[in-house]
Amino acid sequence: MTPAPIAVALDAPDLETAAQWAALVTPHVSTVKVGLELYLRYGPDVIASVRGASGVAVFLDLKLHDIPNTVAGASRAVARLRPSILTVHAAGGPAMIRAAVEAAPHTRIAAVTILTSLSESDLGRIGIAGPADDAVRRLSALSVEAGATALVCSPNEVSAVRAEVGDGITLITPGVRPKGTDAQDQMRVATPEQALADGADLLVIGRPITAAPDPGAAAAAIAASLRRAS
């Protein structure tokens, strides 16, 4: 059975828990995601621990954002860990994105557009011209022109982004919540079925799976619901 197009966010308190979650969900999902906190706490060892013997795809979500030379160096440093996906902030600009792409040629560089925790009013306060749909489309076009082959956007914008960049770009959507679960700190959310129907390629799901009594069973249930909807 083909694993579901889900990246499980392994936002665990320690390395052992992250590795355990990864082992439980790997039969059901295509990807596991290592975020900034876990990577800063344990360093490169975390990648081998969560990848395990399965060889599951690892999404390294560091959201690099600095001058191009620094981002190039950071991308080169983590490329040796063979992550399938590495994130950078689209707001870093085209030269920075291009530097990451050139420094990690065997890793898919995903540009993060607008964080799903930001509301429309937040965008205005930090100086980003809205509405969110327009800002995301602008950043998406800029990123693809700079060589990014994946984009991170909320489910609310995925349809517009797909129309903007076409079919050759991988669209990754955080803010995905199965029906009946709490949105928590995410502002712009959708169900897994709706996000895929709108054009997403990879769904980032964390707490609805990892906070469940049995993360493996929760991952299997969401994967089954996606198969039924397809």
**Domain range annotation of the chain:** 4-229
Residue 207, annotated as binding a ligand = yes
Residue 68, annotated as binding a ligand = yes
Higher pLDDT, 227 or 102: 102
Q: What is the per-residue DSSP string for 201-222? A: SEEEE-HHHHTSSSHHHHHHHH
Q: Are 155 and 204 in contact (CB under 8 A)?
A: no
- Rounded to two decimals, the pTM is 0.91
Residue 177, annotated as binding a ligand = yes
Average pLDDT for 12-40: 95
For residue 120, CA distances in Å to 151, 208, 209 come to: 20, 25, 28
Q: Are 95 and 147 in contact (CB under 8 A)?
A: no
SS3 (DSSP) at 4: strand
Long-range contacts of 163-167 (CB under 8 A, 24+ apart): 164/137, 164/140, 165/140, 165/141
Higher pLDDT, 63 or 177: 63
Long-range contacts of 186-189 (CB under 8 A, 24+ apart): 186/116, 186/117, 187/116, 187/117, 187/118, 187/119, 187/154, 188/116, 188/132, 188/154, 188/155, 188/156, 188/157, 189/116, 189/154, 189/155
How many residues comprise the chain? 230
Average pLDDT for 99-117: 94
Q: What φ, ψ does residue 200 adopt, rounded to 5°? A: -70, 150
Residue 2, annotated as binding a ligand = no
198-218: per-residue pLDDT in tens? 899 999 999 999 999 999 999
pLDDT at 181: 54
- Kindly indicate the confidence band of residue 187, based on its pLDDT and cuts at 50, 70 and 90: very low
pLDDT of residue 185 exceeding 50, the answer is: no
pLDDT at 53: 76
pLDDT at 176: 77
Q: What is the per-residue DSSP string for 8-72? A: EE---SSHHHHHHHHHHHTTTEEEEEEEHHHHHHHTTHHHHHHHTTTT-EEEEEEEE-S-HHHHH
Residues with a known catalytic role: 61, 63, 66
Nearest to 135 by CA among 155, 166, 150, 157: 157
Residue 179, annotated as binding a ligand = no
pLDDT at 186: 46
Place domain 4-229 in its CATH homologous superfamily: Aldolase class I (3.20.20.70)
